[in-house]
């Protein structure tokens, strides 16, 4: 059980760090506020791919945690990686208002409540047809990208962030329910693996597109809130994720505090003080 918590914390740190690196890559490529076609310029930005690599490492840690801990706990920790993003931004020149630090404390308190309320256990195994449905979710996720590209408006960033959160929600559910076969090669026949790959790639593309039109704290907050709320609901309803007996109220309070803390950090992240190498999009209002 302790190992599961360690993996979850490492995943949170990696995810928050990856968001910053990806945002820096998007802005250094000069594609902030551009079109999705402009994202091709990212191929020359090593820092963006470093961010993706850190995110992949975070996913590996998260997948390991999900085999031991319920979705509502792991995904709430990942949602709170917005706190990691904001804290790193502070060291890069962003001023976080006092209320923002308070929001960090609120979120951390919520995570503590969730940590003591969770009942570690393996997930329920999904039947094959449901695992293929998870693969198919990539279609509406990709449709959001197409719609946002054709109708570039002020809601593009929130919509893309929502689509990214939906894709990552499927990734989390698939990782939680993945059953490892005896032979490693049989993984290529496992629908959950393809659900992870396809939805993960689609979610990463939508996240990059969202970063073109919004600051990383806002985009990350929407993405992780969507991911956490949907996956936690599925986990508690269908995957036998459990709360310790007598801890339902602390778990509910912890969930609300964790998400509220993440949103609060995004809201109170102040305007960036311009510095060399610091992306000027690191701000929310």
| Low-confidence spans in the chain with pLDDT less than 50 | 37, 270-285
Question: According to the model, what pLDDT value does residue 261 have?
Answer: 86
Class of residue 280 by CB neighbours under 10 A (exposed 0-12, middle 13-18, buried 19+): middle
* Domain residue ranges of the chain, discontinuous segments joined by +: 2-272
DSSP state of 68: T
At 211 the pLDDT is 75
Question: How would you class 208 by CB atoms within 10 Å of its CB: exposed for 0-12, middle for 13-18, buried for 19 or more?
Answer: buried
Closest C-alpha among 83, 47, 51, 65 to residue 1: 65
> Cα-flanking dihedrals φ and ψ of residue 269, to 5°?
-65, 125
Specify whether the CB–CB gap between 70 and 6 falls below 8 A.
no
- Enumerate helices (H) and strands (E) in the chain, giving the number of each: 11, 4
Give the DSSP H or E segment for 48. Answer: helix 46-66
Res 204: pLDDT: 84
What is the reported pLDDT for 162? Answer: 92
| Consecutive H or E run containing 175 | helix 156-177
In this prediction, residue 164 carries a pLDDT of 92
User: Strands, DSSP E only, in 159-277?
Assistant: 242-243, 269-272
Does residue 61 contact residue 7 with C-beta atoms inside 8 Å? yes
- Quote the pLDDT of residue 117: 92
Rg (alpha carbons) of the chain, rounded to whole number:
18
Helix (H) or strand (E) holding 282: none
Any idea which residue has 């191929």 for tokens?
43
For residue range 212-271, list pLDDT tens digits in order: 777 766 787 788 788 888 988 899 888 889 899 999 999 999 998 988 888 787 676 643
């Amino acid at each position: 059980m302790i190992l599961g918590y360690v993996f979850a914390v490492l995943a949170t740190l990696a995810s928050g760090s990856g968001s910053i690196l990806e945002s820096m890559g998007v802005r250094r490529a000069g594609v902030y506020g551009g079109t999705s076609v402009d994202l091709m310029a990212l191929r020359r930005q090593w820092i963006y791919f470093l961010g993706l690599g850190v995110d992949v490492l975070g996913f590996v840690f998260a997948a390991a945690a999900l085999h031991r801990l319920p979705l509502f706990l792991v995904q709430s920790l990942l949602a709170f990686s917005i706190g990691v993003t904001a804290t790193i931004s502070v060291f890069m020149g962003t001023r976080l208002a006092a209320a923002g630090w308070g929001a960090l404390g609120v979120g951390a308190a919520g995570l503590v409540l969730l940590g003591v309320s969770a009942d570690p256990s393996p997930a329920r195994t999904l039947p094959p047809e449901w695992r293929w449905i998870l693969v198919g979710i990539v279609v509406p996720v990709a449709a959001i990208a197409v719609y946002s590209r054709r109708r570039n408006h002020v809601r593009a960033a929130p919509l893309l962030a929502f689509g990214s959160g939906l894709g990552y929600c499927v990734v989390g559910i698939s990782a939680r329910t993945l059953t490892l076969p005896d032979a490693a090669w049989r993984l290529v026949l496992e629908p959950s693996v393809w659900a992870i790959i396809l939805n993960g790639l689609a979610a990463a593309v939508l996240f990059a597109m969202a970063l073109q039109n919004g600051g990383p704290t806002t985009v990350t907050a929407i993405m992780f809130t969507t991911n956490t709320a949907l996956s936690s609901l599925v986990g508690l309803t269908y995957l036998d994720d459990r709360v310790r007996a007598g801890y339902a109220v602390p778990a509910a309070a912890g969930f609300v505090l964790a998400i509220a803390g993440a949103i609060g950090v995004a809201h109170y992240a102040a305007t960036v003080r311009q510095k060399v190498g610091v992306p000027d999009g690191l701000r929310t209002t």
